[in-house]
Amino acid sequence: MIALIVRRTGLTLLTMLVVSVLLFLIFETRIDSIALSVLGPYTTVEQREIWLEANGYYDPLWQRYLRWLGNALTGDFGTSVQFKRPVNEVLWPRLGNTALLGAVAMAVIIPLSLLLGVLAGMREGSVRDRAISFVSILTTSVPEFASAMFLIGIFAVALDNLLPGTTNVADGISLRELILPAAVLVLYDFGYVARMTRASMAEVMGTQYIRTAILKGLPYRRVILRHALRNALIPPFTVIMLQFNWLLSGVIVVEVAFAYKGFGYLLLEAASNDDIYVIQACTMVAVLVAVATQTISDIGYGFLNPRIRFGR
């Protein structure tokens, strides 16, 4: 177990290092556009050159990279060119907002999709299974931007602002403002997880030990709860861990539609303004989340399924 964590940590650091080098190389070709996005399109080339010079952009690439790396190791991700303030000051509150949105969405997605998946998978091909599958496929196939507009149209416009279609940052984020964005995420995602759970449940229900348990006269309830569930929930567990990953990128559309100032929105803004240090920091966070959830999923797997043991 410890060996696994150590190995994973090493792998994480290596991935982050490689990704950061790649990003730096990509942005190397776009140095001019950084000055442009800072000083605006209506400045002269001379003014931009003076700015680049003054801000150390003409130093060799490796020098700038090492400088960034040294600072990043001490937790200083540099200064955002777009916001003209430290990346840390911008990034963490935004990440906090997305965590809040994600937590609300996940708090609905996980119980809902597991319940529906299990209910559907218990009797494959039954009317209940068909109904649940139909709804799941339907909601999952509607893209987020469409369902966002749809919900805004119903709840904010047609129902005369029953629920706000935008997030007013003037006085913090209220629960009312979280409902619609979270609903979009739930609509898009629950069907997928439910379908995965259903498949896994259906497979378990078809195994011989379940058949044996039923044939030997155990109550159906007991068969499901004691024998089927634990085995059926292993694949959905991995899928759910992957959803955290998906959230970081999947929220972009939702956050833009609802003007929700989160991580996804920040990443989009940074990308469209060549805000290299913000992009770097966002990417580091994304890599960290990806590997961390994967590690948790692997460890959790071990607990859920005693047959799996990690080699040294």
Partner 1 sequence: MADRTWWKSVHPALPEIAEKLRREEIDRRDFLRTASLLGMSAGAAYALAGELTGEGLIKPAAAQQEETPVMGGTLRVGMRVQEMKDPAVFDWTEKSNQARQILEYLVMTDENNVTHPYLLESWQPSEDLKTWQLNLRRGVKWNNGDDFIAEDVAHNFRRWIDPATGSSNASLFSSLPESGIEIVNDHTVVLHLNEPDLSVPENLYNYPAAIVHRRFDEMGGDFEANPIGTGPYQLAEFSVAGVCRLTKRPPEEYWGDEVYLDEIAYIDFGEGTGPTVQALLAGEVDTVYEIGIEEIEIIEENPNLEVLQAITAQTAVARMRVTEEPFTDRRVRQAVVACMDHVRLLEIGYRGRGAPAENHHVCPIHPEYFPLPRLRQDYDLARELLAEAGYADGLNLTIDVRNAPSWEVNTMQAFKEMLEPAGINLSLNVMPDSQFWEIWDKTPFGFTAWTHRPLGVQVMNLAYRSGGAWNESAYSNPEFDAALDVANGLVDPAERSRQMEKVEKILQDDAVIAQPLWRAVFTAANRRVANITCHPTFYHQFNRVWLRSA
Provide the 10 A C-beta neighbour count for residue 284: 19
CA–CA separation, 211 and 203 (whole Å): 12
Q: Choose, by CB under 8 A, the member of 2, 29, 42, 309 that binds partner 1.
A: 42
Beta carbon of residue 167, minimum distance to partner 1 (angstroms, whole number)? 8
Beta carbon of residue 259, minimum distance to partner 1 (angstroms, whole number)? 4
Q: 10 or 40, CB closer to partner 1?
A: 40
Number of residues that bind partner 1 (CB under 8 A): 43
Residue-wise burial string across 123-135, b where 16 or more C-beta atoms lie within 10 A, e elsewhere? ebeeeebeebbee
Provide the 10 A C-beta neighbour count for residue 86: 14
Termini Cα distance of the chain: 8
Q: Please, which of residues 78-117 interact with partner 1 by CB under 8 A?
A: 82-85, 90
Q: Choose, by CB under 8 A, the member of 63, 141, 212, 272 that binds partner 1.
A: 272
Q: Choose, by CB under 8 A, the member of 16, 48, 197, 243 that binds partner 1.
A: 48
Q: Is-contact 179 101, C-beta < 8 A?
A: no
Residue 175 found at the interface with partner 1 (CB under 8 A) = no
Q: Is-contact 254 167, C-beta < 8 A?
A: no
State the DSSP code for 86.
B
Q: Choose, by CB under 8 A, the member of 166, 245, 297, 305 that binds partner 1.
A: 166
Q: Choose, by CB under 8 A, the member of 19, 23, 31, 36 that binds partner 1.
A: 36
Beta carbon of residue 116, minimum distance to partner 1 (angstroms, whole number)? 32
Q: What is the DSSP track for 154-213?
A: IIIIITTSSS-SS--GGG---HHHHHHHHHHHHHHHHHHHHHHHHHHHHHHHTSHHHHHH
Residue 156 found at the interface with partner 1 (CB under 8 A) = yes
Residues forming contacts to partner 1 in the complex (CB under 8 A) are 32-33, 36-44, 46-48, 50-51, 54, 82-85, 90, 152, 156-157, 161, 164-170, 256-259, 261, 265, 269, 272-274
